[in-house]
Structure 1
Amino acid sequence: MLKLEKVKWFRIALAWGLFTLFMIVVVYAQALTGAGPVHWRTAVLAPLVYGLIWTLLTPVVFWLAARFDLTAGRRRWVASLLVHAAASVLLTLLFRILHVTVLYLMAVPGTVLSWATIMSSVNIWISVYWMLLCVAYALDFYGRFQRRNLDAARLEVQLVQAQLQALKMQLQPHFLFNTLNAIATLIVDDPKGAQRMTAKLGAFLRLVLDNTDKHQVTLAQELHFAELYLEMEQIRFSDRLTITYQLAPDTLPALVPNLLLQPLIENAVKHGLASDAETGTIHIQADRHDGVLVLEVRDNGRGTTHSESRGIGLRNSEERLHALYGSQYALSIRTAPEQGFAVRIELPFSPQA
């Protein structure tokens, strides 16, 4: 069914006002080019009354277009067509009666109040009704197109949000499993360390819950999450784990996906501190180059082959980046046996508003 948006009166009046002005200019232009002198009442009042009457009749045509929809089924289409055919004749006659009568009362030169004058060129005047009907359907099709695009955009946003939430839900159990497993080990070997690690886990989870509805946080906030996680890992590995930072100050306000660094750091801990490794170093770096935020997390561990390099954390990170940035990101891995493991991410630099 045709669903026209409400067309405000001033828009209809503006459209007919512009048309009236155009007609006045045309009449005077014809007079100036040799068509002969024209009385101002003929040049001004005739188009003005024409535009005023159709300003009043246009909403009626739009209502008829919505009430008797020509885009409906075939049976209704035939009935609607008959209604519009009758309406075009009746409204045109009403227009001509009003038009001729008003011009006659205003003493516009050449106006004769007669049935012959009213019926003159009636086929041309009927075409105005059908042109307005076409405008009504054009506005309806345009409105449908806009609504369809808006609905598609909303659906896409909802889909991306659902995907991001699903990926975060996959990530958190993976992280919790590893952390709780570490706490269980410390309970036997280092009870006080297990207590400190449990407290750090509580603080970390509190921050995560406070930001659970945010898909993006500033890099400064993300680094705070990372520090809490690394403090837990330092309790676990004691003095075996060293953390270094190289952070450009202008990168800290940049927006990044929430919990972006945590799986990268977890991966670095895994590769940098193998069970037989004595010590390990994790280096976190952030730079900005030509509107691109560059993040890198690397370790000095044993490394691995590329075929073994992408665990669930890195896969989820890449899927989240794709959902948020499309093709405007890059994630690369540098690794080889005995040469450490590095993950580099490039994102559009977008500071917090």
Structure 2
Amino acid sequence: MLRLRLPPPIYWGAWALACLYNFSLNFASAYWKTVLVFSVSHFAVWALVGILAMPLMRRYPVRRHWRAWLFHLVVGALFTQFVITLGHLVFFEITGTGARLSFLSVMQVAFETCFHLGMLTYFCFLGVVQMHDAQKLSRQRELQVAEHKAALVHAQLQSLKIQLQPHFLFNTLHAIASLMHYDVDTADRMLNRLSELLRISLQEVGSPVVTLRQEIGFIEAYLDIEKIRFEERLRISWHIPDALLGFEIPPFILQPLVENAIKYGVAPRGDGGSIAIRAHADGHDMLLEVEDDAPATLEAQKGFGIGLRNTRERLDALYGGGKHFDLIRENTRTIARLRIPQAALGERAYA
């Protein structure tokens, strides 16, 4: 079954416009009715029979190869002669003229009067078909490239998450193992908190986004574990406006920042330290900040471990190039700041 790949309204509309244009060239003639019948009969044949030529036009695209041009010169000439002869026969049948002409005579008349315009019509038709196919192919390739990029981003993010989750789990289990040597009850409580944390984590597996409220719930469960380790040495303050709790962010995006703040801002200090977790709107974006109050002597030790590095790479993969993660060092504090662009998240979140 022949398939008309050009949209039917465009295909038939183009031939109708060609017919009207041909008729308009001789509209002022005293024989305008005859001209109208002649134009309609010929372009109707072109439109109907042209469907048969489209597969050949697609099979042998005209680019820079001389053989394709030679093919279309030969085939185009034969096809044009066939169409204009058939158009003349239809015209003679409608008008009742040419009854005494033989088939060869009709072919000769058609060749002498319409062949040059017929060849022009054929190559215009060829150009439209191949231009349409080239544009369609270009769109398909662009779509394939976009799909491949999306798949690559998804694979990269999955790889980063696979790296991050065992990293956090290893650190927590190591702490539990250490506690088992001198405080079994505390180790047991930490293990129970870890079970609860893993339950929350499994609920979010496969989710491209979570609300800020859900992320805070996860961080609170994580901090319950850390408070068992550090007790009064770990002081936490929250500054989260209620209006932002429904804002969507990538899952598990805050945990590496909090872990880094504890590792460098709390753990090395005998008196512990304070960590502030903030969120505020900045236009259409949201800024998330994790701040610790470690002194300047400890600030220089901070760097990009696997957690922070993965966080930066996740944000770059999700939102493209841009400054979405900053680590700001000051005299008495360090601020890890995330910028989450809300508009882009729904389109590019594959975490």
> What TM-score bracket applies, with the shorter chain setting the length?
0.7 to 0.9
CA distance, structure 2, for counterparts of residue 83 and residue 294 of structure 1 = 64
Alignment partner of 2:223 out of 213, 227, 230: 230
The structural deviation recorded for 1:246 is 0.8
Cα offsets for 1:127-177 (capped at 9, x unmatched) = 322222233322232222112211111111111111111111221122112
User: For 1:246 and 1:211, how far apart are their aligned partners in 2?
Assistant: 24
Structure 1's 205 and 323: CA in aligned 2 closer, same or farther, altered over 3 A?
same
Q: Is the Cα–Cα contact under 8 Å of residues 305 and 335 in structure 1 kept in the other structure?
A: yes
Deviation at 1:106, TM superposition (A): 2.3
The one of 75, 84, 109 equivalent to 1:87 is 75
Is 1:286 the counterpart of 2:285 in the alignment?
no
Map of 2:120 onto structure 1: 127
Which of 182, 186, 191 matches 2:184? 191
1:203 corresponds to: 196
Q: Give the match's secondary structure for 2:175.
A: helix
Q: Provide the residue aligned with 1:327 in structure 2.
A: 321
**Secondary structure at 1:233's aligned position in 2?**
helix
Q: Which residue of 171, 184, 194 maps to 2:164?
A: 171
**Unpaired segments ≥5 residues, structure 2:** none
Task: State how far apart, in whole Å, the 1-side matches of 2:278 and 2:71 are.
Answer: 73
Q: Which moved more, 1:167-176 or 1:85-94?
A: 85-94
Measured in 1, the distance between the counterparts of 2:96 and 2:311 equals: 78
The within-5 A match list for 1:200-349 is 200-303=193-296, 304-306=298-300, 308-336=302-330, 339-349=332-342
Please give the alpha-carbon distance, in whole angstroms, between the structure 2 residues aligned to 1:112 and 1:167: 84
* Partner residue in 2 for 1:55: 47
Structure 2 distance, partners of 1:211, 1:85, is 64
What is aligned with 2:87? 99
Q: Distance in 1 between matches of 2:126 and 2:99?
A: 29
Task: Give the C-alpha shift of residue 348 in structure 1.
Answer: 1.2
CA distance in 2, matches of 1:280, 1:171: 25
One-letter code aligned to 1:99: G
Residue 69 of structure 1 and its aligned partner are, at CA, apart by 5.1
What CA deviation, in whole Å up to 9, does each residue of 1:180-206 have, x standing for no partner? Answer: 111112223332222222122222223
TM-score by length of 1: 0.84
Q: Structure 1: which 5+ residue stretches go unaligned?
A: none
Distance in 2, matches of 1:314 and 1:108, equals 87
Distance in 2, Cα, partners of 1:27 & 1:203: 86
Cα gap change, 1:67 to 1:349, in 2 (>3 Å): closer
- Determine the C-alpha separation between the residues in 1 that align with 2:283 and 2:70: 65
Question: Secondary structure in 1 aligned to 2:181?
Answer: helix
Change over 3 Å in CA distance of 1:306–1:333 after alignment to 2: farther
Distance in 2 of aligned mates of 1:68 and 1:56? 21
Q: CA deviation at 1:211?
A: 2.4
Question: What is the CA distance between 1:296 and its match in structure 2?
Answer: 0.5
In the TM superposition, residue 283 of structure 1 has moved relative to its aligned partner by 1.0
**What CA deviation, in whole Å up to 9, does each residue of 1:253-293 have, x standing for no partner?**
22222211000000111123234422422111110021121
Q: Is the 8 A contact 1:5 1:140 kept in 2?
A: no
The whole-number CA distance in structure 2 between the counterparts of 1:323 and 1:68 is 42
Query: In the TM superposition, what are the counterparts of 1:10-49 in structure 2 within 5 Å?
Result: 10-25=9-24, 27-28=26-27, 31=28, 36-42=29-35, 44-49=36-41
Q: Secondary structure at the match of 1:101?
A: helix
- Per the TM alignment, residue 117 of structure 1 is displaced from its structure 2 partner at its CA by 2.4
State the distance in 2 between where 1:328 and 1:27 align: 62
Equivalent pairs, count = 338
Which residue matches 2:143? 150
Amino acid in structure 1 at the alignment position of 2:160: L
Q: Post-superposition shift, 1:90?
A: 2.4
- Structure 1: how far apart are the matches of 2:219 and 2:20? 68
Q: Please state how far the C-alpha of 1:227 moved relative to its aligned partner.
A: 1.2
Identity of aligned residues (%): 32
